[in-house]
Amino acid sequence: MAERIEGLGGLRAGFTGLAESMRTKTSRYMVAAGGGVLRKEARSLAQAQGLKLTGALIKNIVIKRDRTPDGLTQYNLGVRRGRDLGKKAGKMLVVGKNGRVTSVYRDDPFYWWFLEKGRNVYMGRNQRRRNGLKRRVSATPFIAPALENKRADAIEAMATRLATEIAKANRA
């Protein structure tokens, strides 16, 4: 799902006018502004497709900043799940059908990838699995269309944020 956004050449000229200490901070603000537009669109697409049963999927659509091994910073639009939910989700103890006690995360939208890409899933118990009975979960993507729908708006939000930061730097 990683995709480069082209057409940011006009932003580069204004960006080079900033001092080195301001570049990192300004670039984070710019990406957060553009990512916020994409996140809002992804949430609205997910809700419009009827994916709001518990609300766990929609409230966990986030922008996450990661560092790559070669020292670059990368921003990802995706769904927070599992261990990434952190302490806010909390764990619950659940007793399964076989009597085992397991811990699961509360409001964990582990199924988001099935919805985004579609997937073959088994229909029920082990005997059906052994017989190979499967059904296809059809894809109802919400993250990829958000990028397609709001690409220009995200670039515009980034340009607006850059202009704001340049104005702040000139005043100081």
Residue-wise pLDDT for 81-125, tens only, equals: 766 666 666 677 778 778 888 777 767 777 788 788 877 665 555
Which residues, 6+ apart, have CB-to-CB distance to 64 below 8 Å?
A: 75, 76, 78, 80, 84
What is the number of structural domains in the chain?
2
The band of 41, judged by pLDDT with boundaries at 50, 70 and 90, is very high
The answer as to whether 53 is a domain residue is yes
The answer as to whether 61 is a domain residue is yes
Long-range contacts of 64-71, Cβ-Cβ distance < 8 Å, separation of 24 or more: 65/28
135 and 59 inside one domain? no
Phi, psi at 116, each rounded to 5° = -70, -40
Instruction: Please state the rounded mean pLDDT for residues 63-75.
Output: 86
Provide the 3-class DSSP secondary structure of residue 104: strand
Domain region containing 51 = 9-106+142-171
Query: pLDDT at residue 1 above 50?
Result: no
Please tell me the pTM assigned to this model: 0.72
Cα 79 to Cα 61: distance, rounded to the nearest angstrom: 4
| Helices assigned H by DSSP within the chain | 9-16, 20-48, 56-59, 112-117, 126-131, 144-171
46 and 96 inside one domain? yes
44 and 98 inside one domain? yes
Residue-wise pLDDT for 2-26, tens only, equals: 455 555 666 666 666 666 767 778 8
